[in-house]
Amino acid sequence: MISYNNIHVSALPVTSNEHSSSPTPVRLRNEATEDGIVLTWAGILGAELSGFKIYRAYGDAAPIVLKTVASTATSYTDTAVKKAHTYRYLISTVGDKKAESEMSREIQITY
């Protein structure tokens, strides 16, 4: 656990996969709030990352890139969601050489 200005962040050591030198994100979670769907994930220590790609899918559609966020981010709020709709989310890391990791496990939530 890393603490900074009373903010506590879980971080994991780097592990790579056979497809990319970028580690696969883990501990992806979601929560519905008044502002939208909040996604959180474990920070990654020791990796040369340029960011995280957040993917969203609705219904049976294939996931599309919703947003790319900074490598220091451990959360994102999707404010473009509609009540009574079910969404699926995945994230990946993007290495400093633009190599993308495998996708995280998929999570689903109804807003």
Taking alpha carbons only, the member of 32, 38, 34 closest to residue 54 is 38
Residue 85, pLDDT > 50, answer yes
Residue 75, pLDDT > 70, answer yes
pLDDT at 45: 79
CA distance 110 to 87: 6
pLDDT at 37: 98
CA atoms within a 13 Å half-sphere pointing along the CA-CB vector of 14 = 13
- pTM, two decimal places: 0.78
Radius of gyration of the chain (CA): 14
- Let me know: does 55 contact 103? Beta carbons within 8 Å: yes
Exposed (0-12), middle (13-18) or buried (19+): which is 62, by Cβ within 10 Å?
exposed
Instruction: Tell me what the mean pLDDT of segment 72-78 comes to.
Output: 96
pLDDT at 96: 81
